[in-house]
Structure 1
């Protein structure tokens, strides 16, 4: 199995959850229905700050040199994303990490962490697309471009993490890694669904 196949395996297994997380309701859940530039930028900044802190911590205690280098590079990119989004908001005080980052923090071992990062990357792609769409609708191309760049970062992170997984395991170990990645999506979906229900909304699409 190559990295793209592993990524697609997880995406296919969690297609329903990822499609719902990639809907227009996502920003309502992330901002508690405060669809303003300030609230959207704050939600984005919180995510990038949490990701950067997590990846930096992983890089510091990772015994596998290649994985440590990958985590460190991704941490720098997340930190840069945070600084740029915070600047677009004219400053930001980071909030506590949400359930996804608390879940990721509990992962241990190179493969488990890399697999978790694949799940996170699939989420980040959907979340960041909603940030892009929001600012396109607001006719703010500068901020839309800022999040297009962050979406490229998310794709690169997913590919790098999938490469770490597939270089280090196969067979049943790859099955276990796919389960780890899928579990991250599950945590995000539960948070999304609970947030919408608290707002009196149905997380399922209305056909």
Structure 2
């Protein structure tokens, strides 16, 4: 397997989950139905800190290219969290990236980073749409730039993944780990919507 095959396996194996995470219901779920700018910024803060909290200890244990990619991702998400915190006094429930806690070892760490980046890209697209709808083109543009950053992060993470997967077994382990991250995020999405009496299945 190579990086293209890895991405194909993860996306094909989680097509429905990723589609629904990229739907207009995602922000509704993550804000607990409070779909206003304060709560949306709280989502950004919470998700960014959750990622940084995972990547930092991984970076401390990893070496070489993977350590560099994880450090850069952690620093960027920590900065994003701080920026968002300056825009809101609200808080929201976390948990979307709890699947990262199950990643162990370099192949799974790299795979988890790729998966989290794929999930975050889906949410980033909804953030752009939200702020466009709020007639806030400046913030919408900021989150468009975040999408570019996520694309670069994914490519860097994939390059690092290629350096740590020594055989087909490790590639398969990486695919399973990435799928677990996506599934955990989707489970949170479903649980939050169902708790509010909303059907999570139809894609908006």
Q: TM-score, normalised by structure 1?
A: 0.89
In structure 2, runs of 5+ residues without a counterpart are: none
**Aligned residue among 154, 168, 173 for 1:171:** 168
Q: Is the 8 A contact 1:6 1:166 kept in 2?
A: no
RMSD: 2.1
Q: 1: distance between equivalents of 2:92 and 2:24?
A: 23
Q: Is the 8 A contact 2:19 2:203 kept in 1?
A: no
Shift of 1:66: 2.2
Q: Is the 8 A contact 1:77 1:153 kept in 2?
A: no
Alignment of 1:1-207 (within 5 A): 1-62=1-62, 64-87=63-86, 89=87, 97-100=94-97, 102-169=98-165, 170-205=167-202
Q: 2: distance between equivalents of 1:166 and 1:120?
A: 17
Shift of 1:92: 5.3
Out of 167-176 and 27-36, give the one that drifted further: 167-176
Q: Is the 8 A contact 2:128 2:143 kept in 1?
A: yes
Q: Is the 8 A contact 1:2 1:163 kept in 2?
A: no
Query: How many aligned residue pairs are there?
Result: 203
Q: TM-score, normalised by structure 2?
A: 0.90
Q: 2: distance between equivalents of 1:24 and 1:115?
A: 26
Shift of 1:190: 0.6
Q: 1: distance between equivalents of 2:90 and 2:36?
A: 17
Shift of 1:5: 3.6
